[in-house]
Amino acid sequence: MPDLNTFKLEGTKLVPINRFNLEPAKPSTAFSTIAINKANDFKVIEHPIIHSIDIKPILVFPIIESYFPLIEGDKAITENDSFKDYFKNEITLLFPQIEIVPNNGTVFYYENVPDKSGNKGGLRGKVTLKYTIKEKPLQANQKSIPLNLKEAILNLKVNLDFIKVNGIVNTATQEIQFDLIDEAVKIAFLNLVSNLNDLKCNLDLFFDFKGYSKIKRNFLFARDISILKSQIVTKSDLSSPRATLTPKSTIISSPLMVRDDLQTKVAPKTIISGIQLDNSIKSNVQEEYVKSTFLLKINKTLSFPIGADPAISLYKTISGGFVNIPFNLNEDFSQFKQIFVAGYNFSKLSIYKSMVQPNTFLLIAKVYSLSKDLNTMKPCISTIFHAYEEGTGTAEEISKISFQFAIGPNLSDFDLAKLKIALLQNNFLDGDTTDFFDKIQFLFPNDISAEYEVSGNYFLQQSDITTDGKHFLFNLSTENLSEASIMINALNNTISQYANINFKHKEIKDSSIIELNIEQTIGEILGTVIDNTAKKIQIENQSISNCKLNSVLLVYDQNMTYSNGVFFKTYPELISGNTQLLDFSALNPNASSQLKNVFFDFENIENISSEFSQIVSQSTAYNRYVQVQIKGQTAATNRITIELTVQETGTKFTVERLKSEFSTPILFNFIIKNTIENTTLISYKVNYFDKNDNLTGTKNEVFDFSKASIITINKKS
């Protein structure tokens, strides 16, 4: 289980403190074909990935007796585990039994598909199963845990490896169907009839269930070193006894929770109370239980002998049951084949068509960008100070900074919808294309467990990287304070940091570029509600920035589509938090059928750097921010470079500004080591250039950051 000391309440959602809330991660490496109802979106907070979970009000009537397991410990949950009920400790809760059988007397079906000339063009097939949830024999004090199947994965075996195919789950009829093409049809058949355990395929079933788990909250804060050395400390100031404390680094979840007062000696108890008051933290709450959604993974081996009677055979074609072996296995096939779609340049997107599952495409975006948080719509990036907590220590207690951020493929929902239409128009779809919008599946490198490697940026290469759905989570810690300052300054001033991310999966080798820039984030920011009765679309800008609409793609019944970009040429920007109504007739005057979905192409008019600056430019004793402002220059000055050196640490910064950027302030961050005596001087050199890049003047100055926080670059004399 994850660290449970990471949750907080935001409105009606319980969200992790030190983790970004991205799209719900998938419980497996395959991609679902099920249409997702956003109102009932599945969100996991415990296993395998932490996510937020909606907190629903408890209804008093009607009274239905429910049982919820109390999940304790950190071991993996298995189907044979038992739990105590959260409300009634005397009740023991058990998982029911899961049985898998062929669906309606058929486990495997296939057909030969002709090509345009009428010759054999390939194979199409499916594996069909039915699952049953049966209660085990229970005693009086035992109850069964309700389970709901969320996803099923068929693991086909070949060459000591697996091919994963995800299924279409129908919970109403308890049926599962796996669609297959070409070589996957052969592999599935031979796996199902094999007598060798090593060649039998198996099935992963992912069930969700509700339960309660305990979280703990201990509040520890960094304090100014001068206060620590004052020895004004009492045991009651801390949540743990003084004897148990050791001089070690403690993660601080926000740099703004570092309090300092260099002139007065204030008791730590007063400081902690002030921080708790500022952040609305209740110090007497040390632990509590939260209702969460958990996943149970059950694996079933599939083996169905072919038999001798065609009339009752589980293996069928269009002519009925068969009992022979019609396939020769080609073990050297490729799972994916690269395709090229008109209008989609290789510099933006690589597209690979699956050779084992119909209408399934692997997408490798050529640019990965900073993602937005689903709840706050802010960039998924945070800085964490590792600070000394209490007791005696050395001269350099604050000497480490961590960065956490999330990146994802730079492909919007609008881009993906347009790609589906392009795949249809370029004849890349299999079989009946009537409901092609619902049939097409898109995979990303993480969905197929592709290997990845970051290169080209020494700073980012040192990160610990984990995957979450289609996102990558970077966790980077450094004791090189100059490097950390460079990273923070790049973020403050929207200077892009670049790196390469290289993917490898069997026959596929591809690469993308990571562009880390706080003003070039990705993520959907428009909330839409379709009202077919009133013939209107309600749109809401859920971002903290303004939004400019460029185009709209409307999807109707029978997957008829209509695109309109002219309407938005004169449409005003949508202000943050603003809601507007759009008439169907204004977007498509000829529409007559029901509107199923709508996709917007938009630009996020962000000014996050100024908002970010307002938050982080509050300097502390260790973490300093200095703003550089360039005054109006002579007409001849076309470019200015500024070179700053923090004399205490030797940290150096160099920045260049063109004439069009002179009015934009520059924010510099640097870390002061925790020493008793500090030099508070910054030396800086300003170079002035004309439009021909000739050096026209130079100034050398010294600035004392303990007396002011703004460095002014005056007009060249």
Cα 559–563–567 angle (5° rounding)? 145
Strand runs labelled E in 238-327: 249-252, 287-301, 315-317, 320-321
Q: Point out which residues pair with 294 in neighbouring strands.
A: 209
Entry field: residues in the chain? 717
The Cα-based distances of 160 to 141, 155, 157, 356 in angstroms read 45, 12, 7, 17
C-alpha span between 157 and 555 (Å, rounded): 39
- Provide DSSP, 518-577: TTS-BS--EEEEEETTTTEEEEEE-SSSEEEEEEEEEEEGGG-EEEE-STTSSPPPB-TT
C-alpha span between 410 and 222 (Å, rounded): 37
The answer to whether the CB of 325 falls within 8 A of the CB of 193 is yes
C-alpha span between 476 and 169 (Å, rounded): 39
The parts of the chain modelled with pLDDT lower than 70 are 1-20, 23-65, 74, 215-288, 329-332, 384-400, 481, 606-623, 673-677
CA pseudo-torsion sign 330, 335, 341, 345: negative
User: Tens digit of pLDDT for each residue in 503-555?
Assistant: 998 889 999 999 998 878 888 889 899 999 999 999 999 887 788 999 999 99
User: Tens digit of pLDDT for each residue in 683-693?
Assistant: 999 999 998 88
* Ordered alpha helix ranges (H), 203-312: 225-228, 268-278
Rounding to the nearest 10 degrees, give the CA dihedral for residues 114, 115, 117, 120.
-50
Rounding to the nearest 10 degrees, give the CA dihedral for residues 249, 251, 256, 259.
-30
Nearest to 379 by CA among 604, 664, 589, 706: 604
User: What is the pLDDT at residue 289?
Assistant: 73
CA pseudo-torsion sign 31, 36, 38, 42: negative
User: What is the pLDDT at residue 271?
Assistant: 44
Which two three-digit tokens encode residue 435? 């409901």
C-alpha span between 370 and 490 (Å, rounded): 14
pTM more than 0.85: no
User: What is the pLDDT at residue 218?
Assistant: 36
C-alpha span between 100 and 133 (Å, rounded): 9
Left (φ > 0), alpha (ψ -120 to 50) or beta: where does 449 sit?
left
C-alpha span between 132 and 98 (Å, rounded): 6
Peptide bond into 48 cis (omega under 30): yes
Nearest to 649 by CA among 618, 624, 631, 615: 624
Phi and psi, residue 660, nearest 5°: -65, -15
C-alpha span between 526 and 568 (Å, rounded): 15
The Cα-based distances of 95 to 68, 72, 158, 268, 300 in angstroms read 12, 16, 32, 50, 15
Which two three-digit tokens encode residue 241? 């006894």
CB atoms under 10 Å from CB of 388, counted, come to 21
C-alpha span between 92 and 614 (Å, rounded): 53
The answer to whether the CB of 670 falls within 8 A of the CB of 624 is yes
Pairing of strands 666-671, 623-630: antiparallel
Q: Look at residue 264 and give its three-state secondary structure.
A: coil
Using only C-alpha atoms, the chain has a radius of gyration, in whole angstroms, of: 30
C-alpha span between 209 and 653 (Å, rounded): 53
One-letter amino acid of 16:
P
